[in-house]
Amino acid sequence: APGTGIKLHFKDSKGSHLKTVEVNEGDDILSIAHEHDIDLEGKHLFEGRCQLADLCDPGACEGSVACSTCHVILSPEHYDLLPEPEDDENDMLDMAFGLTDTSRLGCQVKITRELDGMTATLPSATRNMFVDGKKPTHH
């Protein structure tokens, strides 16, 4: 069957290319990552302990905007094409580690044709952020 021609690139937190996949319109980034064995969850784990405590039940959220473990950093030119995040997404992003100006929750980002060529980079969870007990801030 002919492909959709819509490409999505994944990079790890160091910016190294992980995978380029062909995606369907309407799919969300979390589902795509699952389908292609890209581990978005677990970025919030530190020494095996969940940093989101009660909020997080890894694998249980499944796109219900309750965990932020699906946090991805998008290429700016594609980020700008997306509809604004809803309030609940913004609230969750505030708790995400390694937050950037082009961060979104992967479960909330639906693929459209114009997003062809987008890169989703996995965030880095830095030790200091939670050792200090500080939340990342928007710039």
For the bound state, the minimum distance from the C-beta of residue 3 to ligand FES, rounded and expressed in Å, comes to 26
Q: Is 96 in the site for ligand FES (CB under 6 A)?
A: no
CB atoms within 10 A of CB 27: 17
Residue 131 to residues 37, 46, 134, Cα–Cα distance (Å): 30, 10, 8
Q: Is 70 in the site for ligand FES (CB under 6 A)?
A: yes
Q: Is 52 in the site for ligand FES (CB under 6 A)?
A: no
Q: Nearest to residue 97, comparing CAs of 38, 41, 19?
A: 41
Residue-wise DSSP of 50-106: ETTGGG--TTT-TTSSSS-TTEEEE-HHHHTTSPPPPHHHHHHHHTSTT--TTEEEG
Q: Is 122 in the site for ligand FES (CB under 6 A)?
A: no
Name which of 17 and 90 has its Cβ closer to ligand FES.
90
Q: Is 105 in the site for ligand FES (CB under 6 A)?
A: yes
Q: Is 67 in the site for ligand FES (CB under 6 A)?
A: yes
For the bound state, the minimum distance from the C-beta of residue 38 to ligand FES, rounded and expressed in Å, comes to 14
For the bound state, the minimum distance from the C-beta of residue 138 to ligand FES, rounded and expressed in Å, comes to 18
